[in-house]
Amino acid sequence: MIYPSVSAIILAGGQGARMGCRDKGLVEFDGRPLVAHVLAAIAPRVGRIAINANRNTDAYARLGYPVVEDRIAGYPGPLAGIAAGLDWCPTTELLVIPCDTPGIGGYCVERLWGVLGEADAAVAHDGRRLQPLHALVRERCRENLDHFLETGGRRVDQWIQTLDWRQADCSDHPGMFININSPDMLHD
């Protein structure tokens, strides 16, 4: 199913500290950059896509999607990427997905959409824990996020708790949340 009112931001703006400071989204996994796996899974499901990146922006732009940078300097974390995504978002809902989960399935979008209703956000749950970087957030949450960031907030899970949110049960596909965090995981 296609969700034209949903845009997606793929978070690739981190420092990649656990990956030896390599740009994780561009690291090769099974013959393609990690970000390409995520793009292939979600592109058929959403209306628009942008990539949040703070370095190697030309390499990301060559993938054919807009690249948006954090407006907060110094790699403050994924919330800055979500804020950049909400600033860019041309639709009413924003799908947030990290670049380092090559097993993500397009059905994640369906699960999130299925529980969103009138809430501010829907967040995936893998059966063991909440996955706050796999979320569907309404564009109207931008001011709330700006306030959270301005008051020193940096943790995605804490920001989610300030919203009216719903949990999407994805426990039947926990593998889609495995993120590639280190060079060793590229070969497992």
Task: Give the tens place of pLDDT for each residue, 112-162.
Answer: 999 999 999 999 999 999 999 999 999 999 999 999 999 999 999 999 999
Read off the pTM: 0.93
Predicted local confidence at residue 179, as pLDDT: 84
Predicted local confidence at residue 15, as pLDDT: 54
Answer with the residue of higher pLDDT: 186 or 138: 138
**Biggest CA-to-CA distance, the chain:** 42
Annotated binding site for Mg(2+): 100
Annotated binding site: 11-13, 24, 52, 70, 100
Annotated binding site for GTP: 11-13, 24, 52, 70, 100
Distance of CA 111 to the CA centre of its chain: 15
Instruction: Report the chain's mean pLDDT, rounded to a whole number.
Output: 91
How many C-beta neighbours within 10 Å does residue 5 have?
A: 11
For residue 128, what is the DSSP state? Answer: S
Decide: helix, strand or coil at residue 131.
Answer: strand
How many C-beta neighbours within 10 Å does residue 100 have?
A: 27
Predicted local confidence at residue 4, as pLDDT: 94
3-187 placed in CATH 3.90.550.10: yes
* Average pLDDT of span 96-109: 93
Share of the chain above pLDDT 90, in %: 79
Instruction: Please list the residues that pair with 131 across neighbouring strands.
Output: 124
| Residues 6+ away with beta carbon under 8 Å from 173 | 105, 107, 108
CA distance 54 to 24: 12
Give residue limits of the domains in the chain.
Answer: 3-187
Answer with the residue of higher pLDDT: 146 or 106: 146
